[in-house]
Amino acid sequence: MGEYHHLCNESAELHEQTVMSYAFNIFVVTLSLLMICGNLLVIISVIYFKQLHTPTNYLILSLAVTDLLVGALVLPFSTILSMSSCWYSSYLLCKMRGLFDILLCASSILNLCCISIDRYYAVCHPLTYTTKINVRVTLAMIVVSWTLSALLAISITGRGISQNNLSQRCAIFIATKESSPGPIFEFYIPAIIILTIYLKILMVAKKQARRIQNTIKSKATFSKSNITLAIVLGVFLVCWTPFFLSVGLQSMGKFTIPVAVIEAFKWLGWSNSMLNPLVYAFFYRWFRQAFKMILSGKIFQGDFSNTTLL
């Protein structure tokens, strides 16, 4: 027991970090609540309003579930671990946090992959879109995304179960040569696929824009639907690229990046889960109206599921 206290020095750290811990916990609780409430609005909107029962919105629903779980699971676990820095006392919790973190991050980007595929067929093959991308296909894409994410999370988390010293802290990230394949499958490959698809969409959209220059309404409809989803992708890449890039450089051993900087990038990545509902509310009128009806309690006063959201 003496060695455990000497290595961890938990009592001294708790005394020194009390003020910082309170401020940090208030920040995390606020961020978690914003994530949960914002994404809950998206989930209720898609499930309740029949107008929103479309293949694209089911993919948005899956992404919102992912973002909600980040706020409900990953952030609270991270807060508890920050209060108890000793590996021995929080080993299982640390592994659970790592599992959910990898699962939900991978699920987010794979859901974005599915959304980009959906948009590709909508823009590049509009005549066959409804036959190729229907509810059954969308649900299959969601199941595959979550299954692949779960397999990746279990393989990465399980591989290091017996390799750690009990006196170590629970790291918010792992940057070793052994862990380097994780980010490649979790982030880089899906990101390259998504960017390639969106570049193809952009090229086709420009050709379409030239053909329908006189049809202003068609151009406006296209831009609102597809640009918004492109912004969701852009926000995701802005939030997560700094973390995966810094971990990649660190794992190669060619650059030494301060731990505090990488941890800050990790929190930036997690904050992405709060931003998506704001993007939907700002750019989609039907989501804005749905949010207003839910927040005002109107949906509890009668059956408004068939309401036309303008």
Q: What is the pLDDT of residues 14-41, one digit of tens each?
A: 444 576 777 878 888 899 999 999 999 9
pLDDT, average across residues 235-246: 90
pLDDT of the residue at 46: 95
pLDDT band at 207 (very low <50, low <70, confident <90, very high): confident
Q: 17 φ, ψ to 5°?
A: -105, 15
pLDDT of the residue at 2: 36
Quick one: how far is CA 78 from the chain centroid?
Answer: 16
Highest mean pLDDT among 81-90, 112-121, 135-144: 135-144
Cβ-based neighbours of 309, under 8 Å, separated by 6 or more: 49, 51, 52, 285, 286, 287, 289, 290
Task: Go through the domains of the chain in sequence order and give each one's CATH number.
Answer: 2-296 (1.20.1070.10)
pLDDT of the residue at 135: 94
Q: What is the pLDDT of residues 148-178, one digit of tens each?
A: 999 999 988 876 554 444 445 666 665 555 4
pLDDT of the residue at 138: 96
Q: What is the pTM of this model?
A: 0.85
Nearest to 151 by CA among 107, 87, 194: 107
* Contact assessment for residue 39 and residue 276, using Cβ atoms and an 8 Å cutoff: yes
